Each structure stands twice: as structure tokens, then as C-alpha cells.
């Protein structure tokens, strides 16, 4: 096949990879679809608009806990932690729990009581731990994120953005222990309790590697997750959604179609350059 034939074939394929008007198909107010390897933006909708992050901010809580505690460390529970509203795993302030179980409770079951217990164990109190969260967020390039709580429950001054959440999750997933936990659909704690992962994308969206859900009345539905197909990996973050799982599926499909379009366009450009050099 000649270079000109290759160019025509690749160009024809490129034109067939059409992208829908995704903004008309989703309810999310803020979106970031990002290439997980390069950090390049594949699609964005108000990606730098600050909003309450809800439980997606627990990605920072769990990530810091994994670096600060050993699985078998025992963690006490204050009355403040035990009195956190749902979602929770109903920790008993008279008991101590394995750090391993509490971290799973945070990352899979989105437990507010476990989040505060870990924050108090690591930082001394939740306010000091939130400062640690802010430092980690800035280190990972999340410049507009301000944490006030370890749980993501609505708090004045607390905020993040779709771009920041994507960056935070992208970096967190580079930790093999973090990514291993995020992929589990359920785990059994040391005392026999089953924790179910809130991330329904694991069985609804092809290629899901991990993700974190969130919801409060102020934040509405929030989500950040990582997806891999055919050797390509993307991050999807949404905020202010009313149809979260529908939005996630559509954005994941869009992200991989965009990646395919970019690959074909590059192949076409390469073929064109090679033809020019031969002329």
C-alpha cells in the first residue's frame, strides 16, 4: 500500500470517529475528563468552578491514612467521630479498630465516622488533619481545593473543582495499595462485617479501575474515577450531577472516543509528513 493510500485510509477512519454534543446529554454542572498518563484535558465543562466536593474528598483522607498508619494499628473512636451522620459504619467509642478496616470503610463504604476517627488518630484533631489534606492536594496540583473536614460533609469555605478532583485521583491511583482497594467490590472486616463499595461503575461501566462517589444536598452528586480500555487510561470527575451514573457512562465513552480520534489524527499527520518527505 502506498503512502497516499495509507493517508486516505487513516483520514477516512478519523472522520468516522464522531463525538456527540456531550454537554447536552449530561446533568453535571462541572466536568473534567483527563488523560491519566499525560494529564491532558479530553473534555471540560466549568472545570475550575469551586463547589462542595462531598465524599469525593475522602480520596485524600484514605490516601493520607495509607501512608500514615500500618494495617494492624489500632485506632480509637471519639464520641464526635461516632456521632457523625450517615453514611457511617456505626463505630463504638468503647472499642478500637484496625486501621485496615477503617481505611476500607472510608474508601469503599464512604463512612463519615471512620473518616473522623482516622483524622483524629493521625492529625490529633480534624482541623489539623484537614490542613494535611490541603498540603497533599496542593502537592498534587489541586490548587483550588480547600478541605475543612475529613469526610466531605458540607462546611463553609470547603471547596474543590472537577479539575482538582481529577488531579487528586490521578495521583492517588499511582499508589498500588490505594488502587488495589478501590477495585474491590466488597471486603469483610476483621470483625466479620461486610463493606460494600458505593462505586457502582465497577459493574456498570466497562474498564472501571476505581472511583469515589459523593452526595450532599449542597454538592448534589459528585464522582471521580479512573477507567482503562485498550491500553488507554482516563480520569472522569463530575460535580453537581442529578444523574450521576448516566453521566459517568456517557463521559467515559466520550473520553475513549476522543482518545481514538486523537490517535487517528496523529496517524494521519504522520502519514502526511512521511509522504511529503518522499516527494
pLDDT in tens, 47-105: 999 999 999 999 999 999 999 999 999 999 999 999 999 999 999 999 999 999 999 99
In angstroms, rounded to a whole number, what is the distance separating the alpha carbons of residues 189 and 181? 13
* Side-chain-facing half-sphere of 262: CA atoms under 13 Å: 12
pLDDT at site 9? 52
Q: What angle do CA 233, 36, 10 make, to 5 degrees?
A: 55
pLDDT at site 2? 52
Residues with catalytic roles: 55, 58, 110
- Cα torsion 158, 226, 201, 183 to 10°: value is -100
Which SS3 state, helix, strand or coil, does residue 98 take?
A: strand
In angstroms, rounded to a whole number, what is the distance separating the alpha carbons of residues 258 and 247? 16
Hey, CA dihedral for 41, 32, 133, 110, is it positive or negative? negative
**Cα 95 versus chain centre, distance:** 31
235 touches 36 (CB < 8 A): yes
Burial 165-177 (b: 16+ CB within 10 A, else e): bbbbbbbbbeeee
Burial class (CB in 10 A: 0-12, 13-18, 19+), 192: exposed
Tell me the H-state helices in the chain: 3-16, 58-68, 79-82, 99-107, 112-123, 126-139, 162-172, 176-182, 201-204, 244-278
In angstroms, rounded to a whole number, what is the distance separating the alpha carbons of residues 45 and 33? 9
In angstroms, rounded to a whole number, what is the distance separating the alpha carbons of residues 101 and 114? 9
Nearest residue to 136 (alpha-carbon basis) of 112, 109, 160, 108: 160
In angstroms, rounded to a whole number, what is the distance separating the alpha carbons of residues 232 and 253? 12
- 237 pLDDT exceeds 90? yes
For the question of whether the overall pTM of this predicted structure is more than 0.85, the answer is yes
Give per-residue pLDDT as tens, 148-159. 999 999 999 999
102 touches 132 (CB < 8 A): no
Give per-residue pLDDT as tens, 165-206. 999 999 999 999 999 999 999 999 999 999 999 999 999 999
Confidence band (pLDDT; 50, 70, 90) for 23? confident
All domains of the chain in start order, with CATH: 3-278 (3.40.710.10)
Amino acid at each position: 500500500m502506498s503512502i497516499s493510500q495509507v493517508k486516505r485510509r487513516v483520514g477516512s477512519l478519523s472522520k468516522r470517529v464522531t463525538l456527540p454534543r456531550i454537554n447536552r446529554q449530561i446533568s453535571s454542572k462541572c466536568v473534567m475528563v483527563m488523560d491519566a498518563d499525560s494529564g491532558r484535558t479530553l473534555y471540560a465543562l466549568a472545570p475550575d468552578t469551586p463547589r462542595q466536593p462531598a465524599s469525593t474528598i475522602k480520596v485524600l483522607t484514605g490516601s493520607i491514612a495509607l501512608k500514615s498508619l500500618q494495617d494492624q494499628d489500632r485506632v480509637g473512636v471519639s464520641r464526635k467521630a461516632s456521632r457523625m451522620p450517615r453514611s457511617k459504619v456505626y463505630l463504638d467509642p468503647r472499642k478500637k479498630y484496625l486501621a485496615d478496616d477503617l481505611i476500607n470503610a472510608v474508601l469503599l463504604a464512604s463512612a463519615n465516622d471512620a473518616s473522623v476517627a482516622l483524622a483524629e488518630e493521625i492529625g490529633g484533631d480534624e482541623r489539623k488533619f484537614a490542613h494535611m489534606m490541603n498540603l497533599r492536594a496542593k502537592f498534587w496540583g489541586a490548587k483550588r481545593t480547600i478541605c475543612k473536614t475529613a469526610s466531605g460533609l458540607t462546611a463553609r469555605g470547603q471547596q474543590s473543582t472537577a479539575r482538582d478532583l481529577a488531579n487528586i485521583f490521578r495521583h492517588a491511583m499511582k499508589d498500588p495499595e490505594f488502587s488495589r482497594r478501590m477495585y474491590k467490590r466488597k471486603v469483610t472486616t476483621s470483625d466479620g462485617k461486610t463493606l460494600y463499595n458505593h462505586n457502582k461503575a465497577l459493574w456498570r461501566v466497562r474498564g472501571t479501575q476505581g472511583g469515589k462517589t459523593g452526595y450532599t444536598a449542597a454538592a448534589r452528586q459528585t464522582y471521580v474515577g479512573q477507567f482503562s480500555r485498550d491500553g488507554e487510561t482516563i480520569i472522569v470527575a463530575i460535580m453537581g450531577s442529578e444523574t450521576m451514573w448516566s453521566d459517568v457512562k456517557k463521559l467515559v465513552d466520550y473520553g475513549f472516543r476522543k482518545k481514538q480520534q486523537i490517535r487517528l489524527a496523529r496517524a494521519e499527520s504522520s502519514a502526511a509528513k512521511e509522504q511529503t518527505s518522499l516527494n
